[in-house]
A and B are shown apart, each in its own frame.
Chain A
Amino acid sequence: MSTVCVTADGELVARAREGDPAAFGELVDRHRTAVYRAARAALGSHADAEDAAQDAFLLAFRRLNSFRGDASFKTWLLTITWHQAINRRRSLTRVWRRIVEPKPDDEAAEPIAAAAASGSSPEQLVAEDQLRSAIRAAIRGLSPKLRDALLLVQSGDYTYEEIAAMVGSPIGTIKWRISEARRIVKARLREGGHDAARR
């Protein structure tokens, strides 16, 4: 039986500060998914999320000396990521691109094959597809704060404490936003006829 020795983030940070690039590279590998998904929650687009994630790591490298260890490295890194993503979301160029370019294909193609493999009838597949589209539209129609909270918690990569630190709000506020977001989405589904009353 072999034991895997995982170097703590703090030790990697210390080595990176001393000029060990491999140590920072290890941190990049360790947290790239969490950073990417946080950016994706804010930006929606895969390309924007990757750019923002890269920028976040660059900024974190430059500010490595300012990391005091009050919070975990992951939380500190995610806070930087969130700020980068929000800045990018507010950028004029992004607004312009949304006006002149068609919506990105982040409305990923439905896993038709997987749905078909479940044995659902074609009518059921169509109904499920319509429901997913309606939910997606309802989530995108939420206010940014409610949508961010819902997406971050549903990604499964962050604790409530991490989310609260990222967005700069108390945990109670985060939980309220998630609850409110779900309520609004369900209300919109009902308005659109996608409720449990219809069979």
Chain B
Amino acid sequence: MMPRDDDAIDRAVDAVARELTSGEPGSDFRAIVMARIARQEGPSSWWPAIVGLASAAVILAVVLVARHDRSVEPRQPLVVVAPGAPMARVGAAEPIPPRDGPPAPPPTRSPGAATMTAIEPAASAVAALAPPPLSVDSLAVAPLDAPDSIHLEELPVPSIDIPALPAADPISQGEI
């Protein structure tokens, strides 16, 4: 029967809403719940597993991106220096020592570097996820041994003395 007034529609709406929430759980509901409690089961939901998988995928993607970035260009951490503080490079690469040579001089640091304030960018969190750096043999080439000096012995060259020719007077000899 079609509703004849607004109240009738309200009643119809309420009735349908009650139908949508009507019902009872199964007769064995209590037994199921108590059995799950006894087994110390967790909530039956895929949600935690999905969240875990999604988190793992995100972490993996971040690690791969961080690796790619490091292979493309060297990373320079941001440094914010207090005004007036002396500048010094933080995280500067240590000079690679030669394999068999004298040790390289340490990087110079100006006094007062302890007053410097460094702010790592958020990317440091990404860098923290990166795998440990690979240990690679140094590519430094050992300096060549000092070459032997080229010393030429002086060759004995006999002196060539040319006796002076007697002075000749062409006029006195009548040759003109």
| A interface list, Cβ under 8 A from B | 21, 24-25, 28-29, 32-33, 36-37, 40-41, 44, 46, 49-51, 53-55, 57-59, 61, 84, 87-88, 91-93, 106, 108, 120, 124, 127-128, 131-132, 135-136, 139, 150-152, 154-156, 182, 185-186, 189, 194-196, 198-199
Taken together as a complex, chains A and B put the C-alpha atoms of A50 and B44 apart, in Å, by: 11
A151 contacts B45, C-beta separation under 8 Å: no
Partner of B2, one of A51, A139, A199: A199
Residues of B within 8 A of A93 (CB): 46-47, 50
In order of increasing CB-CB distance, the 8 nearest A-B pairs are: A154-B17, A55-B43, A155-B21, A135-B16, A36-B25, A91-B47, A93-B46, A57-B33
Partner of A44, one of B20, B25, B38, B46: B20
CB distance from B150 to the nearest CB of A (A): 81
CB distance from A88 to the nearest CB of B (A): 6
A37 contacts B29, C-beta separation under 8 Å: no
Interface centre among A49, A53, A54, A88 (most CB of B within 10 A): A54
Residues of A within 8 A of B4 (CB): 196
Can you name the residue of chain B whose Cβ is closest to the Cβ of A42? B21
B24 contacts A36, C-beta separation under 8 Å: yes
Taken together as a complex, chains A and B put the C-alpha atoms of A182 and B6 apart, in Å, by: 11
Interface centre among B19, B21, B47 (most CB of A within 10 A): B21
How many chain B residues touch A (CB < 8 A): the figure is 39
- B68 CB–A CB distance under 8 Å: no
How many CB-defined contacts (below 8 Å) exist between A and B?
A: 130
Can you name the residue of chain A whose Cβ is closest to the Cβ of B29? A32
CB distance from A41 to the nearest CB of B (A): 5
Interface of B is mostly: helix
Residues of B within 8 A of A24 (CB): 34, 37
B36 contacts A87, C-beta separation under 8 Å: no
A25 contacts B29, C-beta separation under 8 Å: no
| B interface list, Cβ under 8 A from A | 1-6, 8-10, 12-14, 16-26, 29-30, 32-34, 36-38, 41-47, 50
Can you name the residue of chain A whose Cβ is closest to the Cβ of B20? A151
Using A25-B33, A55-B45, A155-B22 as known contacts, list a sample of 20 further A-B pairs with CB atoms less than 8 Å apart, ordered by residue number in A. Answer: A21-B34, A25-B34, A28-B29, A28-B34, A29-B30, A32-B24, A32-B29, A37-B22, A40-B20, A53-B25, A53-B29, A54-B44, A58-B42, A58-B43, A93-B46, A108-B19, A155-B18, A156-B18, A186-B9, A194-B2
Residues of B within 8 A of A154 (CB): 14, 17-18, 21
Taken together as a complex, chains A and B put the C-alpha atoms of A49 and B26 apart, in Å, by: 11
Residues of A within 8 A of B18 (CB): 154-156
